[in-house]
Structures are given as C-alpha cells and as structure tokens.
Amino acid sequence: MTTSEDELRAKLEELVAQVGIGAVLDAFAVGPVRRHRPTAPPRSRHPRRDDVVVLRVRVDLNRAKPSIWRRLDLRSDLTLDVVHDVLQDAFGWTDSHLHSFWLSAETYDHAAERYLCPYDIDEGDLENLEEDDGVRFPEEQIRLDEVLAAPGNVLAYLYDYGDNWDLTLRLEQVMPLTDDGRALARCVDGRRAAPPDDSGSVRTAGELAEVLDDPAHFDIASVNTALTGPLYELRRRAYPRRLIDMLAMLEHDDPTTTLAADLAALPDPPEAPSDEELAAALRSHLWLLDRAADGGIPLTAAGYLKPADVEALSALLPTMAGWIGKANREDLTWPVAEFREHMVKRLGLLRKHTGRLLLTRAGAAARGRPRALLAHLASRLRPTDARSFADDTDLLVLAYAATGVGTQLPWAAIGAHLGEIGYQMSDGSPVDRASLRHASNAGSLLEAIGERSEDRRSQGRVSAVAGTLAHTALRR
C-alpha cells in the first residue's frame, strides 16, 4: 500500500468515527442506500381517532441543499393512497413511477412496516416475504392518524425507485377542524421548486439550475389549486378509488377530458326523484314483479315468457323504442329477453323454478315500492374493488350515465378511454362496441330505466332516474 493510500484510509476512518458509516454512505449515494444496521425498536401503528382533526405536517426532500420542503395541513382520516396524491401535487410530480411508505424515519427500514402502492401489491406476494422485507400492507388500508399521531412522529416516503425521491413527513401540530372539513389537504408554506420527474435525483442548487428555470421558485397558490381539483372532491365523496385512478390517467393523457369535473359538479348528495318519477321510470320492473306474484309467471316449454307477457312487457320497456315488427316471442325480441335475464341473474329479483318465474325475497320486498326498488338496483350496480375489463367498463358507464342525463351513453368514448388505459382486443385492435356492451352489465340495466317512447332516437338515452341511480351507485 502506498503512502497516499495509507493517508486516504486514515482520513476515511477518522471521518467514519466522527459522523458514522451511514452518513458516509449517504454522502456518496445517488439515492437512499439499502443497508442493514442496528435500528430502534419498530414503531407500532396508533389506533384510529374517533374524531377528525387537522395534522400539520412538514415534508422535506432528504439531502436537498438548500432545503426543499412543504408544510401541509392534512385531514387525519386520509388514507395513505390519498396522502401519496397530495405529495405528488405538493412537489409537482406526475405520479409516473412506483412509491412506498415506511413507518420509520428511513426508507428501506427492514424492521418497519411498509405500505405499498397498488402495482407493488398486484405484482408482489404479501404472503411470501423474504425474512428482511418487513411487514407490508396496502397503503389504502392505512390512515394517516395511525402513523402520525403525536408531534414528532415521522413517516418515510419514497417515489420512483430509480431516482429515489425520498421524503420525510414529520408531524408538527394537531389542530381541530376549523372549516366545513371539505378540504382534504392544504399547503400552508414551502420553499424552493422540487426536482422534476426523471431528472436523475439531483438535489443541489447547482444541479437543479441545469433542469429548472428558477430553482428558488415556489408557488403556493398553484399547489393549492391542484389540491382543490375535481379528483380531490371525488375522493372526499368516497367515489371508487379505481374510478379516480382511471380519471387521473385520462386527464394526464388528455387534459381536455372533463369527466372528473362533470362528476364533481353533481349535487352532493344525489337529488332524489319524486315518487311519480320513480314509478314511471321503473314501470317495467314493477309490472314484472306484480306479474310474478300470486303463483308466478308461467313459461313456455322452452323456458321463455309467453306471447301475451312479451307483448305487455314490450309496451313498457324503453329499450323497445322504435321496434319494427311483432313483439310477441321472447326469443325474437332481444330487449325483452335481456331484461328478463337481468331481473333473474343480475338483479336477483326473480328466480326460475319448475317452469315459472317467482319472486325472490328481494323481489317481494321491492314489489309495489319504487323507492325500495331503486335502492336495491343501486346496491346491485355498486362497483366492486375488482380490476377487470368488465368492472372498468361499468365504472365508466356509471360515470357517463350520472353526468349525461338526456343523452345516449358514449360507447365510442368509453372504448377510447379503455384503450388509453391499456385495454385492447386479443388481436391488438381497439376495443369495439360489441365487446363493451357484452362486458357491461350497467349499460343495459340503465338503458331499461325510463319511459317507453315510439321515437327510435330515444333508445339508449339516459333517463333522469337512470342518471340518479348511476350517481347513487358510485357513492359508496
């Protein structure tokens, strides 16, 4: 070993003795260093609060020189998936990469609980973890007041596993709600512009000057404008998270998309139709339930409605508008066949038994009671947490129906949206209308609600009651 190497080793050992090996490793790292070292006993989550308060949280971009930080007032009942959205807007990022939270002051603290984004959940395996991977949970299951309860509590956040933008969230103050509680988050202070996405984890003023016009610039007004956008209003109203995620993707790809804003502009809660409006719009359903009472509806030997019942139902169904030809055979009158099948399989109001259609318990409870029937329909249309082509199609159908009373469902737009999200036919071609209608239960159910018209152009138009039903179903 040469003299210069001896001197270098001596200086390095002196430096390690002064500041510790962790600080030395961090100084030479592009991003956070994954390492094993003794840690404090892992923290436990706190019980959820019974009340809702405001948590004032300071968020720092670690190792930024000069400091880059934001001070945020956050509702204590926010789940971490929403906190992630707030952080993205507060730092001007585009949510184009993966992220995680840790119940720790450090990212990659193997002794700490880790809260994963949906992609990591979908692609990972929560039941088969490496020994040093810690305990993992989906972020949407964890509330902010469980991880930040008392001033001084910290939470680690990492965005983009390549650039490694690691933030430390530190609770500064717990305050009561002083307004109507509508705002989920508000930025009250901050310093300096955040590095842009995909800029290589630059954090110093000199480095940032090469990728930003003005690294010292921070516009609190623009942050708060983003934090009061329509997607936050939909989160406040507890719209399905999957729908909000899809709307965010659509807005990112096409800023002119107004579906989220249209949903946020709807009355909250949904306006209730009158009894007369309900009875008129649900006339087909109510007639079939009445017909099935007292012994049920006899079917043909082939299992179809008899001609007289097909004719009577055809005269009521809005999907029969402009029908050409006779309407007395169910096997040749597809709107009637589809409606009857929905009443049995999708809505659970009727059941087939020994050659007859009989009322189910739900059907008997809804018979002659339009408002109870509407509530049952809403419960059957309510989206699940599943992610599939059919579920995503129904979410968009419900959204467009809720905002498009008096218009036909825009199947072409829905297909285009699903294409932007990543769906396509098996041969790589765009999703076609036939596939959409086959996948969607919501579309045909909503189109069957309303009054029958002889004008063929009215077929498929969303009635006021159907729009209210779609809106109600989206409100969990």
Q: Place 138 in a pLDDT band, splitting at 50, 70 and 90.
A: very high
User: How many residues does the structure list for the chain?
Assistant: 476
Residue 360 falls inside a structural domain: yes
Residue 42 falls inside a structural domain: no
Residue 110 near residue 134, CB atoms below 8 Å = yes
Helices and strands: H and E segment counts in the chain: 21, 11
Q: Which of 407, 405, 346 is nearest to 380 (CA)?
A: 346
Residue 144 falls inside a structural domain: yes
Domain count, the chain: 3
Cα separations (Å) of 225 from 75, 196, 231, 428? 17, 19, 12, 39
Q: What one-letter code names the amino acid at 42?
A: P
Sign of torsion over alpha carbons 213, 219, 222, 227? positive
Residues of the chain above pLDDT 90, percent: 73
| 93 and 8 within one domain | no
| 166 and 17 within one domain | no
The predicted pLDDT at position 180 comes to 67
Q: What is the pLDDT of residues 295-312, one digit of tens each?
A: 999 999 999 999 999 999
Q: What is the pLDDT of residues 102-112, one digit of tens each?
A: 999 999 999 99
121 or 12, greater pLDDT = 121
Neighbours of 114 (CB within 10 A): 23
Question: What mean pLDDT is reported for the chain?
Answer: 89
Cα separations (Å) of 368 from 4, 238, 339, 392, 402? 95, 31, 18, 33, 25
Average pLDDT over residues 444-450: 95
Structure tokens given for 153 = 């509590």
Residue 440 near residue 390, CB atoms below 8 Å = yes
Q: What angle do CA 228, 92, 55 make, to 5 degrees?
A: 55
**How, if at all, do strands 350-353 and 165-176 pair?**
unpaired
pLDDT of residue 12 exceeding 70: no
| 90 and 10 within one domain | no
**Is 216 strand, coil or helix?**
coil
The predicted pLDDT at position 176 comes to 95
Q: Beta partners for 14?
A: none
* CATH number of the structural domain spanning residue 123: 3.10.290.30
Place of tokens 């998936």: 81
| 331 and 431 within one domain | yes
pLDDT of residue 10 exceeding 80: no
Domain end: 205, 228, 251, which one? Answer: 228
| 288 and 141 within one domain | no
118 or 48, greater pLDDT = 48
Rounded CA-CA distance 15/447 in Å is: 73
| 187: containing domain | 53-228
Residue 234 falls inside a structural domain: no
The predicted pLDDT at position 128 comes to 45
Rounded CA-CA distance 417/253 in Å is: 10
Lowest mean pLDDT, pick from 255-259, 325-329, 409-413, 434-438: 255-259
Q: Place 129 in a pLDDT band, splitting at 50, 70 and 90.
A: very low
Residue 36 falls inside a structural domain: no
Rounded CA-CA distance 208/190 in Å is: 17
